[in-house]
Structure 1
Amino acid sequence: MHVEKEKIYPNCPFITRIVEIGSQTKSQLIQKLQQASISMNEYGEMLLKDEHFTISKTKYSLQTVELTVGDLGFLEGATTPQIYKKAKELNLQLCPLELGPYLRLSYLDQPEGFAGNSVKQHQAPSGSITIASEALSEDEDFPKGFYIRRINGVLWLRGYRADHLHVWNNDNHFIFCQK
């Protein structure tokens, strides 16, 4: 299917945010998440507790871009490798994994996602935003990264699993970093 070039990032609506990350220990970061009443699933906890999950010792800012898979030109959806390759071609880069918890703490007014029973298994939940990042492990049973969402007023930082063949829907939201 042909996509009009003017509808593809950067010629489409998108959301930018500046997020400060770093300069805390892992336990300080986890404590901040708890103090902010951020809920986590088992995969999110696995990512945070993994020895390969690191936090920068110095504080720095990242400018992020939130857009949909369709905004990258994939009207029929795309796999993670296709999405990441296209983002790179558009001068976007993957985010450090540590961005997930910091983004969750800085984006406390995220709109409510759909909490009904129409959630499709093996699909990103309605209202969720996936942080595009390198996976810590190739193990299929280990989570690949974080996503954030708000359901019934509760803010979540969740981990997810998806293999390289998983097709994301065109309306799934991703966060990338600007170069």
Structure 2
Amino acid sequence: MSFAPQAPRWQIQLGGLSKRALLEALAARQVQMNPMARELFENAAFPEGSARSVLNLMAVTVAELGFAAGATMPEVLAQAARLGLRPCPVETAPFFRLQYLDQPEGSVGQAQIKGQAPPGALTVVSEPLEASLDFPKGFYLRKADGCLWLRGYRSDDQHRWSASDGLVFVC
């Protein structure tokens, strides 16, 4: 399977900031965060800082991975690996948020359904920092009402991601 040439791709700079400096940069850009995003940052497993590097990212929908009826994250990860896509380091999402400032507004008029990704959101796929079901699994980016967001989310391995959900991987 090959991806459409128009599949969104980005090259981002990762690292070079301490955790504190990264949070300050997000605040300076007026990026909003929910309590789960803050919980991810506060976890001891979240990197304190890393050397600068460049990552190539690509966004695909669950359907583009071959799951027209949706899929669980274990199914998504297995298929993504077969296609040469890898999970992102957990610190990717905050750096991506700082560099992806022109994200389109989420679909207007579509209500968010509890337990589903909001319309227009991009979930940055990464390995969870903790196995606990009570701890957030990762981050997603969205723009709503003109505000840029970096949000954490919770899910388990049985959660079915919708065919239209946008997922970001290292390519």
TM-score calculated relative to the size of structure 2: 0.96
**Residue among 39, 45, 49 paired with 1:46:** 39
Letter of the 1:110 counterpart: Q
Q: Which residue of 2 aligns with 1:145?
A: 138
Displacement after TM superposition at 1:12 (Å): 6.3
Q: Is the 8 A contact 2:117 2:165 kept in 1?
A: yes
CA displacement 1:89-143 (0-9 Å, x = unmatched): 0011110000010000000000001354621111000110000100011110100
Q: Which residue of 2 aligns with 1:99?
A: 92
Q: Which residue of 1 aligns with 2:150?
A: 157
Inter-partner Cα distance in structure 1 for 2:138 and 2:29: 21
Number of equivalences: 171
Q: Which residue of 1 aligns with 2:103?
A: 110
Inter-partner Cα distance in structure 1 for 2:10 and 2:76: 20
Please provide the CA RMSD for this pair.
1.3
Inter-partner Cα distance in structure 1 for 2:5 and 2:160: 22
Inter-partner Cα distance in structure 1 for 2:69 and 2:5: 17
**SS of aligned partner of 2:10:** strand
TM-score calculated relative to the size of structure 1: 0.92
Q: Percent sequence identity over matched residues?
A: 37
Q: Which residue of 2 aligns with 1:17?
A: 10
**SS of aligned partner of 1:72:** coil
Q: What stretches of structure 1 of length at least 5 have no aligned partner? A: 1-7
Inter-partner Cα distance in structure 2 for 1:146 and 1:119: 17
Q: Which residue of 1 aligns with 2:51?
A: 58
Pairs within 5 Å for 1:116-127: 116=109, 118-127=111-120
**SS of aligned partner of 1:92:** coil
**SS of aligned partner of 1:143:** coil
Inter-partner Cα distance in structure 1 for 2:29 and 2:105: 17
Inter-partner Cα distance in structure 2 for 1:19 and 1:56: 16
Letter of the 2:127 counterpart: E
Q: Which residue of 2 aligns with 1:32?
A: 25
Q: Is the 8 A contact 1:23 1:55 kept in 2?
A: no
